[in-house]
Chains A and B, each alone.
Chain A
């Protein structure tokens, strides 16, 4: 089997707030991303999904654990080798209004990464820029190349951001909520561009989103994060049609549904909790979990366990819940 492009082992990151409170952003994450796949990372705000993307690119430093890119641990990399490695990995952000320098023309924005990495001569660089603009549909190039970000629409700006990430022809792209500020018709254009880069260039993508429908459409596999813990991991179709973790079920319940819809819902696994902070003991989801076992789930911490061939869930009662859903169509009863 081919070695995964990204291998994450026991990755942990804690922030300390001004009030000296420790906030666990990621706790012991183990995850592989395969070459050429689109991996979806789903979770609510504060789940740590953006932190994971930033750690992989070393925009932030981890507390513990290792991140292997193509077999090399990037955590210890020093300045020069880090720069080399950054050529291989790029990122696009949520807000195309904030991630482009308003004083630079599109040409300057797209040339900059090539200049930083000293790629080709002037002519070569310009031809790469024009080629990339065609790939993201900024056509005709002559119209866009001398424009400034404020002259473009949100969708066009996001294309510029994708083009900027792609001029270096990276192997791996982190897409952090790239469409959550865009209209559906424009999001669909961005999805098309990402799919094309994957299909034609074998680009591997980590797609970070809070939108399960988008993750389902775009991704081969999905990981579900809850408060810094990876609670479920599996093929997209299985996550949406055969969920094992009560939190994934709560997410599925909450997706607005209309028209044709084949996913299950009505699991009713979520309960209201006045105080749902995690004290570090027991299951991270315990306080909000309706079917939770009162003693076991509050004292022991479940780890990711295999439930199907490529499908894992961090819940003691995953199999039990699954059986109950198959039998009764619901799992709202306690354990």
Chain B
């Protein structure tokens, strides 16, 4: 069963230059205990999607269609008190910049205690201490560093502290938005491994958002490729790696340096993704797409199901063709 199901979510930002459609009928689902990865270039709407699931949208954003169902409940209809209980207890989020999500003038341990205390005011001091110690151990932070301030931590330790905070109330779903992007490769690897262990041992579901396709494919079993506010391709990791069928997915995969002995020249995607965000009829990738034909600009594509669970939104179906 799905833990989270986003259905045809459309979201608009009001900007000085008029309304701007940041999400256009986006549908994703995260199974209980599963891991879903969202990849796409900056500006494709992946963070907006994460923020709308958390109910943390800015003032100028409004949902213009669709639903966000968490355990069958539409969270867009929650009242503020229900939302407060849902957020952090059911779903929590780890942001890219760990320094900005920690309070610099409070001890790290105390900050995590605060999160727990806010949701469980009756908790005793001793139990609170025990809970935070357990969290520190869980994310491989030395317990004696609870009394330190964020600036005394290294980048990797801060990121671990933020993960500990996200896990403080045993949420069912953690949204990791570029959670390891700013980290060195060895620290990143340790945190990704720990994440996989948490997922396995505690049945945690993970929504992993990143522009780094290598990381997303490393962590997640199910992949969603987003482009300019739309979902372009959905599938299992192996389906997408073996048979990428949307021209954008192909372009994304061939713009990333491979670790194979035969060095292939990278193929950069020409053009500017930001231009694709202007609302228009037809496919949003059309100007950068080497496979585009006239009909692509005329009308929006329909979803094509290629295999079970593997779908694309494209008129030019590249499924099974060679990548050249």
In the complex, the answer to whether A256 meets B266 with C-beta atoms within 8 Å is no
Identity of the chain A residue whose Cβ is nearest the Cβ of B270 in the assembled complex: A189
CB interface residues, A 25-51, toward B, < 8 Å: 44-45
The answer, yes or no, to whether B257 is at the interface (CB within 8 Å) is yes
* Chain B positions within 8 Å of A147 at CB level: none
Partner of A217, one of B42, B186, B257: B257
In the complex, the answer to whether A213 meets B41 with C-beta atoms within 8 Å is no
A240 vs B142: C-alpha distance when bound (angstroms): 33
A212 vs B272: C-alpha distance when bound (angstroms): 26
Mask of A273-314 contacts with B, CB within 8 angstroms, 1/0: 010000000000000000000000000000000000000000
In the complex, the answer to whether B188 meets A186 with C-beta atoms within 8 Å is no
CB interface residues, A 130-162, toward B, < 8 Å: 153-156
* Chain A positions within 8 Å of B274 at CB level: 153
A106 vs B251: C-alpha distance when bound (angstroms): 30
* Chain B positions within 8 Å of A240 at CB level: 259
In the complex, the answer to whether A258 meets B241 with C-beta atoms within 8 Å is yes
**Given contacts A254-B185, A256-B215, A256-B217, A214 and B257 within 8 Å (CB-CB):** yes
* Chain B positions within 8 Å of A250 at CB level: 186
Question: Shortest Cβ distance from B124 into chain A, in angstroms?
Answer: 30
A196 vs B223: C-alpha distance when bound (angstroms): 34
* Chain A positions within 8 Å of B142 at CB level: 274
- Interface residues on chain B, number (Cβ under 8 Å): 40
In the complex, the answer to whether B185 meets A188 with C-beta atoms within 8 Å is no
A194 vs B211: C-alpha distance when bound (angstroms): 22
Identity of the chain B residue whose Cβ is nearest the Cβ of A247 in the assembled complex: B186
Contact residue range for chain A? 35 or more
Interface on chain A toward B: helix, strand, loop, or mixed SS? Answer: helix
In the complex, the answer to whether B259 meets A255 with C-beta atoms within 8 Å is yes
**Given contacts A183-B211, A258-B213, A44 and B259 within 8 Å (CB-CB):** no
Question: Shortest Cβ distance from A236 into chain B, in angstroms?
Answer: 9
* Chain B positions within 8 Å of A253 at CB level: 189
* Chain A positions within 8 Å of B186 at CB level: 44, 250-251, 254, 270
The answer, yes or no, to whether B253 is at the interface (CB within 8 Å) is yes
* Chain A positions within 8 Å of B272 at CB level: 153, 155-156
> Which of A59-67, A121-129, A260-268 forms part of the interface with chain B?
A260-268
Known: A253-B189, A254-B190. 15 other contacts (CB 8 A): A154-B42, A183-B41, A183-B42, A184-B213, A184-B252, A185-B273, A188-B256, A216-B257, A217-B258, A254-B189, A255-B185, A255-B189, A258-B218, A259-B241, A262-B261
- Can you list 5 A-B contacts with CB-CB less than 8 angstroms, sorted by A residue number? A183-B42, A185-B252, A188-B266, A250-B186, A274-B142
